[in-house]
Every structure is written in C-alpha cells, then in structure tokens.
Chains A and B, each alone.
Chain A
Amino acid sequence: MEKTTTGTVAAGTDVGYDLDIVKMFFTATVVWALVGMLVGVIIALQLAWWPANLGLPWTTFGRLRPLHTNAVIFAFGGNVVFTGIYHSTQRLLRTRMFSDTLSRVHFWGWQSIIVLAAVTLPLGMTQSKEYAELIWPIDVLITVVWVVFGVNFFGTLARRKVQHLYVAIWFYMSFVITIAVLHIVNSLAVPATWFRSYPVYSGLTDALVQWWYGHNAVGFFLTTPFLGLMYYYLPRAAERPVYSYRLSIIHFWALVFLYIWAGPHHLLYSALPDWAQTLGMVFSVMLIAPSWGGMLNGLLTLRGAWDRVRTDPILKFMVVAVSFYGMSTFEGPMMSIRAVNGLAHYTNWVIGHVHSGALGWVGMISFGMLYWMVQNIWKRPLAHPTWASHHFWLATIGIVLYTVSMWAAGLMEGLQWRALNDAGQLANPIFVDITARLNPFLWIRLLGGAMYLTGAVMMAVNFWQTIRGPERPAAEPVPVAAD
C-alpha cells in the first residue's frame, strides 16, 4: 500500500481504533448535559421566584450556581471535547490511542472529579474563583488526570502514522497545554484544612490571575477545542473539505497568541493599573479578526451545500453554532471597550453574552457532532429523525429568548443604575427596585432555558432508542436524517 504524507487508508482497512472509549465519553456527555442544564433551569427559576431556594443551605442559588457552571463547562463541555478528541485524533493520526489504560484512567478520573464537584459545591466547599471553585484536593486530582490525558494524547502523536498534523490536532494540542498552565498557576494556594485554602496571590493581583484564567478557560476550554471539532466534523458532515486550510492555520496562531492578553477586560474601571486594563481592551478588540477567520471558514465550507443545510439537522446545528460563534465573538470585543463595559459590566447583558456563546456555539456544535457520531459509531440510523429537527428548533428559539431577554434586562439595569434626575441625584436610589423590574425578563429567560433543556432531553431519548435499535445493514450508506 502506498503511504502519503497525509496517510490515505484504503476503505475497509482495520487500523484498530479504540471505539469503546469514544462511546464511554459520548454516554457521559449526554448524561452530564442533562444534569448541567437542569441545574441551570433551576437557578434561573430561583432568580425569577426566590422561594425556589427552599430555605435549605444545599439548594440556595449561591451554592447551585457554581454547580451549574462547573457541570456545563467541565462535565458536559469537557466530556464532549474528549469524545471528539478520542474519536478524531485516532483517525487523523491513523493510529490507536497511545494507551487504553491511560484512556480509561482519564475517563474514570474525569467522571470522579465531576461527582466530587457535585458533592462538595452544594456543601459550600468552594474557593470562590469562578470556574475554579473546586477545593484544593480536587484541584490536585484534576492536575493528575490532566497529566494522564496529556501523556496519552502526546503519546498518540508520537506514534502517528502520518506526517502532517491536521489543524484540528493543533487546536486540541493548544487545549491540552494551555489548560494545564492556566489551572496550575491559578490554583496555587496554601491549605488551611482539607476543605479550605487561600490563594498565594492577594487582592487585585489575585483578581488579575483569576481573570487571566477565567477568560482563557473560555478561550481554551470552550473555543479552541470546539474549533478543532468544527474543523473535523463540519467537513465530515458536509462531505466537503474545509473552505481554506491556509486560513485555518493562520487564524489558529493569531487566536492562541491574542486570546491570552484579553483577561483584564473583566477588570475595567477597577484600580488595576491603566496600562493593564488598556492592554486587555485592545487585545480583546483585535480578537475579532482570528475569531471571524474561523467563523468564515466554517460557513464557507458549506458553500454549494446550502440545499442540504435546509434538510439535514446536523448541518443546521452546525451552521447556527458557527453563526453564534461569530456573533458572540463580535459582541465580546464590543463589551470590552471601556465605555460599553461601563454600562454592561455587572449586568445581565454579560449573562446573555456568555450564553450566546455557550448555548449557541458550544451547545449547538456539540449537538451537531453528537447526532453525526451516534449514527456513525453505533452504525444505526436515528430512531426519530424528525425529533432532531424539533430539537434544533427548540434550541434555536430557546437561545433567542434567552439572549434577547438578558440583553434587554442588562441594558435596563445598566441605564437605571446610572440614571440621574435634574437635581443631579440618583433617579433610582433604591437598588432593589431596579432588580425587581427585571422580573419579567427573568421569566422569559427561564422559558428559553427550559426549551433548550427540553430539546436536549429529546436528543437523549433519541440516542437511547437509536443505540438500542437494530444495526444498519453494512451496504446502506450513512443516512442523512431528513425532517
């Protein structure tokens, strides 16, 4: 057989990929997606209707909100990325993963971290740093599991059977490396007890380190690995190569270089030195370029396939995902401009922005990938093809309700906080009154979130029945689910 630098494998050749680990991560993804989103709906209800806090320590908003963020980012987001990485990396490198044992240690280690988080956070054990709340013993466990993952991933790279590394692998690599650096630097702390520690940084330095972490957790946990997934699964689903491979490798380097600088935009108008705030703002605005490079590359990959986008739910999910990626990577830089930030900071606008990225980009690209995968890995047609379309519409309308209501609420509170009357005094001196006026928007947001969750439940049931259903005859081509 002739080898090329890009490693063509003849049809039917059994390279011996490890599919079981992919199925394990796939299953975990679906389970944690439901849990994380359900907690999100619960805390949305608590904000609209306070008695839903139940008056119990373990169920108040302050303890459940970190549970929601950790569950959707690290449990759902983490598992979905690992699903895609373990599946596509083996194929792109034409080799089995470096070690089946390490793969399984990674899987069970990661799931046990999630379970520990689900126990400790409602008990009030937290370090308070957003998206880095978990107490120090769990931080140590995360580090160990991440090293296991890193060794397994780079080990697979070292024994690859192809010369070239496809750009998706670049994005995965930046994910593995950067998350390790961010996690270790931000988690440095001195333990007081088994459940409590204090960070080595104090005050605004601690804030700067945390938002360097927090912003880049968004960048390197929720953006680069998902771009990697996009660069593999969008072409696979569309059955055509990426629009411009050259653009993909160029925007990769611009993205990873620029992203790291943007953290201080979370601290505008604080007492952090002006030069640091300005750097954060300028680099945030520059980020539009590489972000849109990725978006355009994704959308243009579908040129000439728009007729299929109308009928194939997988492509629909992916197109909407890439569009939301473009939208939120435009909105983010705008919100980093000092004057805009002065209005938006501390308001629901930020919550809306985060969710247009999380529900729109991360969620939708994941759904697209999962629908594609369940049919290709288990080799079965979808049990309910039309449900996939219903899921798509529930999710899309849900996101619109969510982001528009939060945008309106954020503008309203931002303006009312600062409004002055003719005498130069506060027009709304009682803070609670402003929050109370947000109530209708909070109910609309709850509705949007509930619709999104309903769609995810339909997906889970669909997957369950698909996997338990009869296998597709070998001769039959991979079906494109029609609505």
Chain B
Amino acid sequence: MSNDQSQSEKAYGRLHRRLFEGKAAIFAIATTVAISVGGVVEIIPMFSTSSLSWERAGWVTPYAPLEVAGRDIYIREGCYLCHSQMVRPMRAEMLRYGEWTRAAEYQYDRPFLLGSRRLGPDLQRVGQKYPDAWHYEHMRDPRATSPGSVMPTYPWLHRDKIDPADVTASMAALAKLGTPYTTTEEGAVTARLRSDGQMIVDNLAQAGITAAWDDEIVALIAYLQRLGVEGRQHLATQGGGQ
C-alpha cells in the first residue's frame, strides 16, 4: 500500500468515524425495535393480572412427586415428538378424545407439552382410559396392546429406577417458580413417591405383573394416568361447553 493511499485511508477513517459509525448503531436499534413490536404486543398481555386468570383454575392440582418424575421421563424419551397434548374444539377430536383442552389444564405445565405432531394419538385425556397394566405392556411391546403400532419399545423403563433426591430437586425448582407444594423436603417427597408408587404396584400385581415403586415405568404410568382427568371431571359437572 502506498504512502498516499494510507494517508487518504486515515483521513477517510476519521471522517467515516465522525459521520457514519452512528449509522450502524441507529440501524441496529431500528432493527431491534422492528423485531420487538410483534413479540411485545402478543406476549406481554399474557402476564397482566387480568389476563392470567384465563389460565388459572382451582380445579387443577399440581403434579404429585411421582407424576413429576413420570413427566420428566416423558420429556427425556421425547414422547411429545409423536404424541400431542391438545384436544382441539372439533367434532371429530371430541368424539375421539373427549372434551377440548382448556387453558387452565396446562397451568402447572413447565415446560408445556402440546406437541407438534401426531404419529400416535393425542394423550391430553388419556388418564384412566386404560388400566395400569395396559401401559406397562404398551411400553414393553407397543404391538402387544396396539397391533400395527410404529412406536419403539422402551425396555429400560422396566429396569431403571427413579432417584428420590433427583425428584426432590425438581420439586424444589418447581416450587421456586410458584407451584404450590406444601413440602419439598426429601424425606416427605420420598414417602409420597413410595406410597403413590405402591398403589400402582398393587394394581399391576392384580394383573400378574411384578414391579417396584421406584421403577421408572411406574412413575410414567402415574403421570399418564392423571392426564386430563381433573378437567374431564370438572367439565362433566359443568355440563360441557364453556
């Protein structure tokens, strides 16, 4: 580069810094504004006090410890990638699955699990639809309960154990976010896990299946069996509709 050239470069650089550096900054600000407007208008109203009521209702209870453990397994295995949790207000959907899903039914869902795909059926109202033993068999061999299914097998769920300390950590985090748990103390959580798990173990025993309260499959069954049940019961007393 010649001396002349670097001189003019320097002069140009100074001029450019004075005049045009601000331009990029203004541009960046304008872009930020343009991309923020839509999000602000759509998302902020969801947090205003009057708006929050649309997704709050007393007839929904928080997930019990075993259900939290089961939900974490549901997330881990990516069940939501083939199963939705949203019954739409359409005739065929309500015939197939039951009442359409109300906002309040999701109020303790962190994260939400509405799904984006139905390779398998919607699960939002699957709770109490089948016996516990059906789910146990279904995860072991989906084709035993649903001939023609393309679902993978999940043999490790029947082998692996949940960890009460891990579930307690989840409960504590959820409580921190406002889920109204009365206790997140590990002893109490473990006791509740054991008693809830034992009920499912007893149900399975009646079908001739031996399981333990801390089997992962038991936690998953606990979660699936509560899905949509409170909403179904509440909406039945309301005579359906809104």
Contact = CB atoms under 8 A, between A and B. Distances in A.
A354 to B, nearest CB: 10
B112 A207 contact: yes
A346 B55 CA distance: 23
A260 B37 contact: yes
Contacts of B125: none
Given A346-B117, A350-B117, A210 B112 contact: yes
A212 B77 contact: no
Interface in B57-99: 72, 75-82, 84, 86, 88-93, 95-96
B21 to A, nearest CB: 6
Given A173-B27, A206-B109, A163 B92 contact: no
B111 A57 contact: no
Nearest to A55: B153
B76 A126 contact: yes
A181 B24 contact: no
Nearest to B5: A1
B174 A61 contact: no
A57 to B, nearest CB: 5
Interface in B157-203: 166, 169-170, 172-174, 176-177
A203 interface: yes
A209 B43 contact: yes
Contacts of B118: 346-347, 413, 417
Interface string A412-428: 01000111100001100
Residue from A62, A159, A178 whose CB has the most chain B CB atoms within 10 Å: A62
Interface in A164-205: 165, 170, 173-174, 177-178, 181, 185, 190-193, 196-205
Contacts of B133: none
B34 A256 contact: yes
B100 to A, nearest CB: 8
Given A174-B35, A203-B55, A270-B86, A161 B170 contact: no
Most interface-central of B42, B46, B109, B118 (chain A CB within 10 A): B42
B84 to A, nearest CB: 6
Interface in A237-269: 253, 256-264, 266-267, 269
B31 A65 contact: no
Given A1-B8, A47-B150, A178 B173 contact: no
A311 interface: no
Contacts of A128: 75, 78, 80, 111, 113
A432 B147 contact: yes
Contact of B103 (A173, A197, A203, A347): A203
A124 B109 contact: no
Contacts of A261: 38, 41-42
Interface in B119-175: 119-121, 146-156, 166, 169-170, 172-174
A61 B81 contact: yes
A57 B146 CA distance: 21
Contacts of A420: 91-92, 95
Nearest to B103: A271
Contacts, number: 257
Given A204-B103, A206-B112, A192 B78 contact: no
A426 B88 contact: no
A154 B24 CA distance: 8
Given A190-B173, A205-B46, A208-B43, A269 B75 contact: no
A158 B32 contact: no
A257 B37 CA distance: 8
A426 B95 contact: yes
Contacts of A181: 32, 35-36, 39
Nearest to A66: B78
Interface stretch (A141-149, A272-280, A360-368): A272-280
A198 B103 contact: no
A472 to B, nearest CB: 26
Given A62-B78, A128-B113, A191-B173, A257 B120 contact: no
Given A198-B174, A431-B96, A346 B115 contact: yes
> Which of B46, B79, B80 gathers most chain A CB within 10 Å?
B46
Given A129-B111, A208-B42, A270-B86, A163 B16 contact: yes
Interface string A30-64: 00000000000000001100100101010011110
- For the residues of B in contact with A, the DSSP-based class is helix
Contacts of A474: none
Given A192-B172, A426-B95, A431-B121, A60 B110 contact: no
Nearest to A279: B42
Interface string A357-399: 0000000000000000000000000000000000000000000
A430 to B, nearest CB: 8
Contacts of B4: 1
Given A1-B5, A128-B113, A270-B86, A53 B152 contact: yes
A130 B35 contact: no
A196 B170 contact: yes
B152 A62 contact: yes
A346 B119 CA distance: 8
Nearest to B95: A426
A358 to B, nearest CB: 15
A150 to B, nearest CB: 10
A431 B120 contact: yes
Given A128-B113, A205-B47, A60 B152 contact: yes
Given A62-B79, A192-B170, A193-B169, A198 B95 contact: no
A53 B27 contact: no
A436 interface: yes
A302 interface: no
A200 B31 contact: no
A212 B88 contact: no
Contact of B119 (A47, A210, A257, A276): A47
A261 B8 CA distance: 47
14 contacts: A57-B156, A62-B79, A177-B32, A181-B35, A196-B169, A202-B109, A206-B109, A256-B35, A270-B86, A346-B117, A350-B116, A432-B148, A435-B148, A435-B149
Interface of A: 1, 3, 13-14, 46-47, 50, 53, 55, 57, 60-63, 65-66, 124-130, 154, 157-161, 163, 165, 170, 173-174, 177-178, 181, 185, 190-193, 196-210, 212, 216, 220, 253, 256-264, 266-267, 269-273, 276, 279-280, 283, 342, 345-347, 350-351, 413, 417-420, 425-426, 429, 431-433, 435-436
Given A50-B150, A260-B39, A417-B92, 7 more contacts: A55-B153, A158-B21, A160-B16, A165-B23, A216-B35, A267-B114, A418-B93
